[in-house]
């Protein structure tokens, strides 16, 4: 996957000085086939004590940027686009979950994040990231048009549509662990051209398929026409206030990113 930072009209890249690439880690698990070996193709992201979202300039933590989107011309075929992002993530052995934080995912169009402001046009772009919550509970975190079918509230074990922020999809469907790699595969299929509620989202965790799944997702109208979807590398504690911040420095490791897209009927 070629990684490029998108123009600043989408987001200002924020790369704290202690986010290092490459970085070497030693696999600690005695039953791992990689145990004792070093992997030096690892992105190490540090979250300083007291830090939350990157937009809070007083104490920047984590890492936030949009990658160059993949583009497929669907106009002649009027088909949907399926895009899959996969990677592995490892929380440090003593990681403090606090109240939660963001992990990388996908975006389309102009992207969307940071709360539902008056100038936020959810018909111009979307984002689908992962989140960890207190005690390591996992979910898919969406910024999508909020007029989704009511069925979305039935995605187990818990789904919340927050009118001020995003959609927490499948909160608690899985749990992240400290000190070991977790394999993530996030797949989205855009709605039909015209904005029908027939888009799909799928999350696989450690090879278990459809841990979180929904088949009636309405994508922003702009995204059903253009079909551009890309990597949204977004990770930080928060949340929007100091109650989400860690009390001491934390770190998360990432590796084995892959991104691909195709047309789907």
> Model confidence over 226-260: pLDDT tens digits?
667 899 999 999 987 889 999 999 999 999 999 99
Query: Rounded to an integer, what distance in angstroms lies between the CA atom of residue 41 and that of residue 256?
Result: 8
Burial class (CB in 10 A: 0-12, 13-18, 19+), 31: exposed
Query: Rounded to an integer, what distance in angstroms lies between the CA atom of residue 62 and that of residue 246?
Result: 12
Q: What domains are there in the chain, each with its CATH number? A: 25-264 (2.60.120.200)
pLDDT of residue 34: 53
Residue-averaged pLDDT of the chain: 83
State the pLDDT confidence band at 68, using cuts at 50, 70 and 90.
confident
Burial class (CB in 10 A: 0-12, 13-18, 19+), 47: buried
Query: Rounded to an integer, what distance in angstroms lies between the CA atom of residue 60 and that of residue 77?
Result: 44
pLDDT of residue 163: 86
Element (H, E) at 104: strand 100-109
Query: Rounded to an integer, what distance in angstroms lies between the CA atom of residue 221 and that of residue 18?
Result: 39
Query: Rounded to an integer, what distance in angstroms lies between the CA atom of residue 209 and that of residue 186?
Result: 10
pTM reported for the whole predicted model: 0.85
Tokens for 107, please give them: 């975006």
Q: How far is CA 224 from CA 93, 126, 160, 168, 227, in A?
A: 42, 11, 24, 22, 6
pLDDT of residue 255: 96
pLDDT of residue 121: 73
Per-residue pLDDT reduced to its tens digit, 2-61: 343 333 333 333 344 344 445 666 655 444 445 456 777 899 999 999 998 876 666 678
Tokens for 136, please give them: 């390591």
pLDDT of residue 20: 45
Q: Under DSSP, is residue 96 helix (H, G, I), strand (E, B) or coil?
A: coil
């Amino acid at each position: 996957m070629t990684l490029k930072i998108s123009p600043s009209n989408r987001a200002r890249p924020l790369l704290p000085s202690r986010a290092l690439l490459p970085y070497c880690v030693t696999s600690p698990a005695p039953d791992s086939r990689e145990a004792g070996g070093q992997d030096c193709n690892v992105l190490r992201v540090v979250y300083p004590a007291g830090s939350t979202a990157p937009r809070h300039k007083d104490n920047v933590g984590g890492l936030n940027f949009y990658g160059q989107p993949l583009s497929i011309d669907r106009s002649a075929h009027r088909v949907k686009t399926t895009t899959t992002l996969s990677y592995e993530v490892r929380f440090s052995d003593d990681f403090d979950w606090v109240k939660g934080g963001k992990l990388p995912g996908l975006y389309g169009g102009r992207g969307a994040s940071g709360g539902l402001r008056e100038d936020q046009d959810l018909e111009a772009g979307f984002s689908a990231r992962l989140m960890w919550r207190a005690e390591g509970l996992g979910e898919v975190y969406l910024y999508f048009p909020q007029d989704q079918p009511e069925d979305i509230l039935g995605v187990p074990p818990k789904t919340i549509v927050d009118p001020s922020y995003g959609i927490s999809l499948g909160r608690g469907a899985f749990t992240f662990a400290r000190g070991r790699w977790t394999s993530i595969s996030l797949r989205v299929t855009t709605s039909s051209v015209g904005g029908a509620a027939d888009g799909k989202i799928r999350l696989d965790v450690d090879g278990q398929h459809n841990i979180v799944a929904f088949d009636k997702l309405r994508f922003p109208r702009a995204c059903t026409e253009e079909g551009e979807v890309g990597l949204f590398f977004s990770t930080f504690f928060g949340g929007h206030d100091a109650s989400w911040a860690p009390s001491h420095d934390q770190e998360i490791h990432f590796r084995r990113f892959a991104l691909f897209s195709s047309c789907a009927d």
